[in-house]
Amino acid sequence: MRFKTSIKNISVLTKLTSCLSSIGKLAWLKLDEDEIRFTLMPEASVQVFATLAQDTIFDDYRIASANENVINLEVPLLVLLRALRSCASASDATLRLTKRASDNSPILCLTITTSSNSSISSGSTLVTQEIPVRVLSGASVDGIREPMCPEPDVHVILPPLAHIRSVTERFNKLSLGSSPSRVSNGGDGSRLILSANMAGQFKMRLVNDAVKVESLWKGLNNPNMEQAPQSTGDRPQDEFAKVTVDGKEWGKVLKVGGLAKKVIACKFPVCARVRYNGC
């Protein structure tokens, strides 16, 4: 099993890791010849499937394994993030899978060369970060698949995530303050109702015994997806499709705003999918 690559786009990898670490602690990292995929399936409700072509962030990428050149790793995201932060002033960074000489435990070894950019440091400095990982067998991850989602009713490009996030946080606070008995609320977090239509509108709503608030964004784009929503013909353009989400989880998801440039939310009758096209 061999994996070695140099990292050419450190900032994207760092941002991605930082986004993912706000959602879960451990990620399944699947590396194959063309793609790298981070999958998070924490016990909470948000699952993340992030796929990147390996050449967007890596360079000089070499991978080999007995399992058709696929390597599955379980990676602690906070540790990875901490290691990547060391790269801030790196002139060169290399990532490879190896075993620690002393105890044979598998590690992702991140080797960082910082050139003498600091005014007081004259020589080059070599930083090595050893991130403990667990190698997963192909069989153990076979069962993990991206969930099948039905065709979307509506899709819309969301307004800047920072805006939605600050509104979401207010909603969450309102919900906490206004519902003394959370049990009646059906859970410990607030329930937000998100809705959107094909006329460029997106709504966020909080309704409970004490408050009723709603934010409406207008003039958004409805992108042309490859597979046009099948129901477009049947439903009026301004009819809203609704989903209910947990306010806290929604807030966490919105943290990816640091990375994403274009965010598409798709609304389904039973579930919602948020897609990010970053980089």
Partner 1 sequence: MSTLYFVLTASAAQRIHDSLVCLSKFSEYICFEARRNRLTLSALNSTKSAYGAVTHSSTRFFEEYRFVAGDRGVGVDSEGSRFTCRLYSKALLAAFRHRYTDTKNGRTAIEKCEVSFEDDPSRPECRLLVKLICRHGVLKTYKLTYEEVDLMAPVFDRDLARNRWTISSRLMTEYMVHFGPKAEQFDISSDNGRASFTSFTEKVMEGREILKMAMHTNIALDTSDFELWDVEDKIHIAVSLKDIKAIVTHAGSLNAPISTFYSDPGRPLQLAYEHDGVKCEFTLMTMADVRASQTFAAITRVESRPVAERVARGNSAFTASIRRREPSRPQSQSQSQSQIQQGLPDDEPLFRGPTPSLSSIPTLSSLTSSLQVRPNAPAQPTQMRPPSPPSLQASLSQIPASRPMTQGLFLPLDSDDDSDDDLAKRLDDWDETSLRWDSGGNRGAMPSISVVRDQVAPQMRDQSESEGEDEVVGPTQQVSQVCLFFSEFCVVGSG
Binding residues for partner 1, rule: CB under 8 A, are 1, 26, 74-76, 79, 82-83, 86, 99-107, 118, 120-137
- Least Å distance, CB 59 to partner 1, is 23
Nearer to partner 1 (CB atom), residue 14 or residue 195: 14
DSSP bridge pairs for 125: 114
- Could you tell me the smallest distance in angstroms from the CB atom of residue 189 to partner 1? 27
Residue with smaller CB distance to partner 1, 22 or 231: 22
- CB nearer to partner 1: pick between 109 and 265: 109
- 124-134 burial, b at 16+ Cβ within 10 Å, e below that, comes to eeeeebebebe
Segments of the chain assigned E as strands? 2-7, 26-31, 35-40, 48-53, 58-64, 71-76, 92-99, 106-114, 125-132, 134-136, 154-157, 191-196, 202-207, 212-217, 241-246, 260-267, 272-278
Least Cβ distance, residue 3 to partner 1 (angstroms): 13
For residue 126, give both structure tokens: 């070599």
The residue among 106 and 278 lying less far from partner 1, judged by its C-beta, is: 106
What's the closest the beta carbon of residue 97 comes to partner 1, in angstroms?
Answer: 10
Measured from the CB atom, is 25 or 173 closer to partner 1?
25
Question: DSSP for 188-235?
Answer: SS-EEEEEE-TTS-EEEEEE-SS-EEEEEE-S------SS--GGGGTS
H-state helical runs in 22-160: 54-57, 77-85, 138-142
Q: Give the residue carrying structure tokens 């609320």.
A: 185
Q: Pick between residue 135 and residue 225 the one whose CB is nearest to partner 1.
A: 135
Q: What's the Rg (C-alpha) of the chain? A: 22
Residues 6+ apart with CB under 8 A from 121: none
What minimum distance in Å lies between the beta carbon of 79 and partner 1?
5
The closest alpha carbon to 71, from 37, 24, 99, belongs to: 37
| Token pair recorded at residue 97 | 């899978």
Q: How far is the CB of 41 from partner 1 (least distance, A)?
A: 15
CB of 72 to partner 1, least distance (A): 9
In terms of CB distance, is 17 or 129 closer to partner 1? 129
Contact 206, 189 (CB under 8 A): no
CB of 25 to partner 1, least distance (A): 9
Among residues 107 and 279, whose Cβ is nearest to partner 1? 107
